[in-house]
Amino acid sequence: MRIVVLAGGIGGARFLRGLKQAVPDADITVIGNTADDIHLFGLKVCPDLDTVMYTLGGGINEEQGWGRTDETFHLKEELAAYGVGPEWFGLGDRDFATHIVRTQMLSAGYPLSAVTEALCDRWKPGVRLLPMSDDRVETHVAVTLPDSGSAAGSGERKAIHFQEYWVRLRASVPAEAVVPVGAEQAKPAPGVLEAIAEADVVLFPPSNPVVSIGTILAVPGIREAIADAGVPVVGLSPIVGDAPVRGMADKVLAAVGVESTAAAVAEHYGSGLLDGWLVDTVDAGSVERVEAAGIRCRAVPLMMTDVDAAAQMAREALALAEEVRG
Ligand code: FO1
């Protein structure tokens, strides 16, 4: 079975680990979000690709869900001693090596897709990991910073990098707009459209519908390829009991005018894209609303407490795919 999965960071990576356990013989292609990518200290950092690669390759910091296990922060401390930041983004020594190799290869002219393949040679994630695009796409968030009452510029509206919104501000101010800068001009990375065309099923894990899956779908050609593939497309709700399972998805959902409920996220994707949708058992009451929108819906446990739980979610998603296939 050929499965294509659109993935953001932690939610996508943990779901993929379950999917691999559920169907060890499946041929899995992951289309990873790269709009969270950021240039820091002259290096290109790809948080979502790395989170998938480290999680499936056994190198992830399990508690955080991002970054490396057994990490140290000497380099960051040395940079801070020179007054070189940002101090709010936690890059560890082991993780730095990945960004150095990636940046060297990019500087030598390799596209991000080839660099990702080279990095995966080491980590052997057991899936084919493709960036959504080799072109630069960067999510910016429009915010009005709180009026500090002092300096000029306080209370100003500005666009900031997604990581600054997510990590430095911890989404503490409303996201007024979320813009995947560069998406309109971006092309799908080599292999992306081919993988979709050859897939037996496409899955949307419980990743952020706006800044993860939303940005992948914003790359021209990807949404159309999925809608036209003629295979079941099944998603899993990242919202359980009207709140995000992890992260702050509700903040960015508000920016695109979508309420933070499992049913509203399904409607946001729409029946033109989605054939099946899994909600958590606590949201069983929303099954009818989703089905009224033309999307087959089932309520099953959606908390990825461990790999077995994630594997069971993957089995449910594949069972729903078979059901809609008819
Ligand atoms: N998330 C944090 O909350 N704080 C951090 O300092 C941080 C650093 C970081 C470094 C490398 C990396 O691959 C991911 C990192 N993340 C961090 C996670 C990341 O910011 C986001 O969770 C994802 O971009 C959202 O998918």
Nearest CA among 219, 211, 220 for reference residue 177: 211
Cα Dmax for the chain: 64
Domain ranges of the chain: 1-33+122-326
What is the residue whose two structure tokens read 């600054």? 164
Work out the burial of residue 260: count CB atoms within 10 Å of its CB; fewer than 13 is exposed, 13-18 middle, 19 or more buried: middle
Residue 159, pLDDT > 60, answer: yes
Report which protein residue has its CA nearest ligand 1's atom 2.
167
Q: Worst-scoring range by mean pLDDT, 2-16, 105-119, 218-232, 235-249?
A: 235-249
Report the distance separating Cα 56 and Cα 116, nearest Å. 14
Q: What is the pTM of this model?
A: 0.96
User: Is residue 37 a contact partner of residue 45, using CB atoms and an 8 Å limit?
Assistant: yes
Give Cα separations from 102 to 45, 78, 119, 291 (angstroms): 8, 22, 8, 44
What are the E-state strand segments in the chain? 2-7, 27-32, 38-40, 43-45, 128-131, 138-144, 157-161, 177-181, 201-204, 233-236, 239-240, 243-244, 276-279, 296-299
90 lines ligand 1 (CB under 6 A): yes
Amino acid residing at 105 = M
Question: What is the tens place of the pLDDT at every residue in 284-299?
Answer: 999 999 999 999 999 9
> Tokens 């407490």, residue?
305
Q: Where does 1-33+122-326 sit in CATH, by number?
A: 3.40.50.10680
CA of 11 to the centre of ligand 1 (A): 13
Q: Which amino acid is at 41?
A: F
3-state DSSP assignment of residue 12 = helix
For a ligand 1 pocket test, name from 33, 34, 66 the mutation site with the most ligand atoms within 8 angstroms of its C-beta: 66
Cα of 286 from ligand 1 centre, angstroms: 32
Q: What digits encode the pLDDT tens for the residues 256-275? A: 999 999 999 999 999 999 99
pLDDT in tens, 310-324: 999 999 999 999 999
277 CB less than 6 Å from ligand 1? no
| Mean pLDDT to the nearest integer, 108-137 | 98
